[in-house]
Structures are given as structure tokens and as C-alpha cells.
Structure 1
Amino acid sequence: MAATFDQLIIGITIASFAVFQFLFHFGSSWLSAIISLGFRSLGKEQKIEWNSRVASTVHALLAGVFGLYIFCFDYAVNADPVWGDATLVRINVAITAGYLISDLQLILWYWKIIGDVYFIMHHVAVLYAYYYVLSQGLLPYFANFRLLAEFSTPCVNQRWFFEVLGYSKSSKLNIINGLTMTIMFFLVRIAVMPVYYNQMVSTFGTEGFNRIGRGPQCVWIICSVSLDILNIMWMVKIARGCYKVFYFHRKIKINSQDKVKLQ
């Protein structure tokens, strides 16, 4: 059963890689040309990043919704966060692994356009951490919990879409998206930290925690803390950006009202 399931996980990872490659090279361009008239007028380099972000958004929604279902209804994982039945979590992580490998390949191939050392480091670190989930089924609750953070990704990508399409930062759509992005980022990456670390600390010293070994323990704790330090830094930047947009919009509104009074 284990060997068959391992073959299934490998198959899902390969299939995920193929799907996201297809989406980048063909599906995104076809669909974007229908949905957004502005897509056709973009330059080659902008279309490459556009297609990359479309793939990112599709993965984020898929992994996020699947992860939320597991979080709410997979009682085995919630009952034993360290060694619970990781079947559904491994499937979700395999989908994510396929996407990350696909994105790594695209980043390296189009390095001059979308190359980013941070993303290389991030993808490699995440793949290394998820190796333990895929190979041994360790820490399914915590692996799935991290995937819920993907719910903030679509708004981040949408911000770039609006920018490249020429939307003003003070436009209603941009403001709504910026506010939504700030709220979602806070909810799924910052506000959940106490829940995550409370659950983590509660496993320390237990038989299940000791059984996973020193290596996975160190990878789990170091990766979690490092990622959340970055999340806090990003949250500060996003909050500042959101404040600037609202301040700029309010300033324009006040100036417009003053001009009307003067007339």
C-alpha cells in the first residue's frame, strides 16, 4: 500500500508540474486574451511575468481551498498533528511541489525577466521541508497550515495585474484590492501565528515529537520561525503601502473638494 501510494504521490507531482507548464505556455495566454483586452497589448517580457503570475494564482487558490477543507474536515490530522493520517495533506503538498518545481524551471529559464534569488531560496527551502511530508508523512497538520497562507497570493498578483494594465493607484479597484490584500495577508499569515505556535509548543516533549528525529525537528522549527520573520517584514511593507494609497486618495479627494469650493 505504501509503495503504491508513493507512486501516486510521484504521479501527482509530475502531473502538477505538467499542468502548470501547460498553463504558463498555453492556457494563460489563451484565457487572458479573452478576459483582459489589455493583455494583447503587453510586451513579450510582461506577458511572461503575467503568465507566471496566473499560474501562481491558480496554484494558490487550489492549494488554499484544498488546505482549508483538510483543516476543517480531516479529523485524523487535527487529532494527531505530528503523525496523523497524511493522505490528503500529501496529495495537496504533491500538487504544491509540482508547482514549485515548475516555477523554479521557469525562473531559471527566464532569469533576466523573472529571476529572483529570494524565490530560488524560498522554493528550494520549501521543497526540502516538504520532502519530509511527502516521504514520511511527518507533521501533516503544520504542513497543511502553511498552505492556508496561499490565500493572500491572488491579491498580491492582482496588484501587479492592475499596475501593468495602467490602473491608477487611486482607482477604486486598486484600493479595494489593496485593502483586501492587507486584510487577507494579516489573517492568513500574521493573526494565525499564535494558533500555529501554540500547537507547535504543545507537541514538544511528546512521544510523537521525539520520534520524528532531530533533523526534521530542526528543519521544522527553523523554517517556521524564518518564514514568519519574513511574513512580519512583508506585513509592515504592505501596511505602509496601503496607508500611502489611502492617504494619497484622501488628499486628492480633499484637493478636489477645495477646488469645487473655490469655483
Structure 2
Amino acid sequence: METYTCLCGTIIACSFGTFQALFHWASPMLSRRFCAGFSDLPVKKIIEWHSRTVSTLHALIVGTFCLYILWFDEAVNIDPVWGEPFTVQLSIAITTGYLFSDLLLILHYWRDIGDRFFIMHHLSAVYAYYYVLTIGVLPYFANFRQLAELSTPFVNQRWFLEAMGYPKKSRLYVVSGVAMAVAFFVVRIAVLPPYYMRMLSTIRSPVFDTLGIGPKISWLAASLCLDVMNLIWMYKIARGCYKVLFVTQRASNKSINGKEN
């Protein structure tokens, strides 16, 4: 376990450095080269652009880990509390490095990308992941939480289109918004019933007593905190999606009918 902990610490440090480098050097260089109009964005949007580019890459890496573990790692899926945690720890270590990197960027650029919800989200996740990384407990549930990252590329793509000035009535913008809402619902909301059913069955089993008070509190508190935020975000996304699909369309139809009359 000490070897695992040292390895995870190394991965966290490498992950932190890599995502910082992506934000400060890779994203600016590639965005200027391949994204027409990027250089014309205001400074605030450029900073958020780089932040979202980094989060998209993190989501793709960790999402791949998550799906592999969910589909093929029998030890973790059979024993959700003490199953072989090594692969999950690697994934969580990458995420922890990213979370520390993003926390630093949020605090440094607070006026541009500061968000109290993201601070709460990151700190809750780090608190829960601490026990996964140090004692290897609850690997199944930690990996299940990582499913949420699969919605991040859709959320960011929607923002990129808006930043580049795509009309809200354009097909690409509408399709992107619907895809974001569907992806967010599937991996953050629809998974809640099976997640909490597995949690309840674990709490009722004798193995729950083998957990210390720290892991128990972090597991329950972090889960509730993260899911309350997910429900709030889902509500905001659903409102935005409804507005784009129906309110904007009705206004467009009225405008067309008015011209015809």
C-alpha cells in the first residue's frame, strides 16, 4: 500500500504539472493556430477557453479509465468497498492532480473564472478521494463518481460555440445544447438511483462496519454535496435547453408570421 501511495503521489504531481503546462502553453499555442477568431476574444473568455480546453482533455482521459473499470474490472465491481483499487487509484490520482491545478487557476484568476460552486465541488471531491488514494477504500463508488466527467466535453463544446459567436438559432448550436443536456442527465442524474441503491445495500452489509469514521463521513457527505450541485446544474441546463428549443422557436415563428401578414 505504501508503494501505491508513493506512486499515486507521483502521478498527482505529474498530473498537476501537465495540466498547468496545457493551460499556460499548449492551449494558447494550439488555439491561436487552429481556431479562427480566438485571438479576438476578450481576455476573460481567453482564460476560460484555456481552462475548458484543459478540463475537456482531463475528462476524456479519466472517462476512458472510468468506462474500462466499469466494464472490465471485476474485482472492483464485485467488492465495491475493498476491491483491488490500483486502476481506480491511478484514475483518481490523475483527477486529483487536475483538481489541484484547477483550484490554483480559479483562485489566481478569480475575477475571470472564479466560482464558489466549483470550489465546493473540487474540495468535496478531493476530500473523498483522499481515502481512496491512501487506504484504497470504496474504489467502485469513487470510479462511479468519475462517470460525471463524461458530460464535460459536451458542456465545454457548448461554451466554445457560444464564445465564438455562433447564433443561438443555428442548427449546430441547438444540437450542441441538446447533446449537452442529454449527456449531463445520463451520466450525472440518471445514474443516481443505481448509485444510491448500491450505497444502501453496502451500508446494510457487514462490510460497512469495516470502514473507519473518516471514510464513512467523506463518502456520504461528498456524495450528497456533489449530487445537490449536479441537480442544481441540471435544472439550469434544462431551463436553457427548453428556452433554446421552444421559447426561441416560438419567437422566431411569430416574427415570420408577422412578416407574412
Is TM-score (shorter-chain normalized) higher than 0.5?
A: yes
1:5 Cα deviation (Å)? 2.2
* Contact 1:151 1:184 survives alignment (8 Å): yes
Aligned to 1:56: 55
RMSD: 1.5
Instruction: Tell me if the contact between 2:124 and 2:225 (Cα under 8 Å) persists in the aligned partners.
Output: no
Q: Which residue of the partner structure matches residue 91 of structure 1?
A: 90
Deviating more after overlay: 225-234 vs 168-177? 225-234
Q: 1:250 Cα deviation (Å)?
A: 2.0
Deviation at 1:256, TM superposition (A): 5.7
Q: Does 1:231 align with 2:233?
A: no
**2-structure distance, mates of 1:6, 1:235:** 35
Aligned to 2:15: 16
Distance 2:6 2:227 in 1: 33
Residue 226 of structure 1: how far off its partner (Å): 2.3
8 Å CA contact 2:124, 2:226 repeated in 1: no
More displaced stretch, 245-254 vs 68-77? 245-254
Distance 2:179 2:187 in 1: 12
Please name the residue that 2:211 is paired with.
Answer: 212
Q: Letter of the 1:78 partner, please give it.
A: N
Task: Quote how far apart the aligned CAs of 1:259 are.
Answer: 5.5
Q: Percent identity?
A: 51
Offset at 1:180?
0.3
Q: Counterpart of 2:244? A: 245
Task: Return the offset for 1:115.
Answer: 1.7
* 1:117 pairs with 2:103: no
The answer on whether the counterparts of 2:52 and 2:156 sit within 8 Å (CA) in structure 1 is yes
- When structure 1 is superposed on structure 2, of 214-223 and 80-89 the one drifting more is 214-223
Aligned-partner residue type, residue 203 of structure 1? T
Contact 1:64 1:147 in 2 (8 A): yes
TM-score normalised by the chain length of structure 2: 0.95
Query: What is the deviation of 1:234?
Result: 1.8
| Structure 2: runs of 5+ lacking an equivalent | none
- Gapped regions of structure 1 (runs ≥ 5): none
User: Structure 1 residue 108: deviation in Å?
Assistant: 1.4
1:191 aligns with 2:166: no
Where 1:37 maps in the other structure, the secondary structure is coil
Number of paired residues? 261
Task: Report the counterpart of residue 5 of structure 1 in structure 2.
Answer: 4
What is the TM-score of this pair, normalised by structure 1?
A: 0.94
Q: Distance in 2 between matches of 1:103 and 1:88?
A: 23
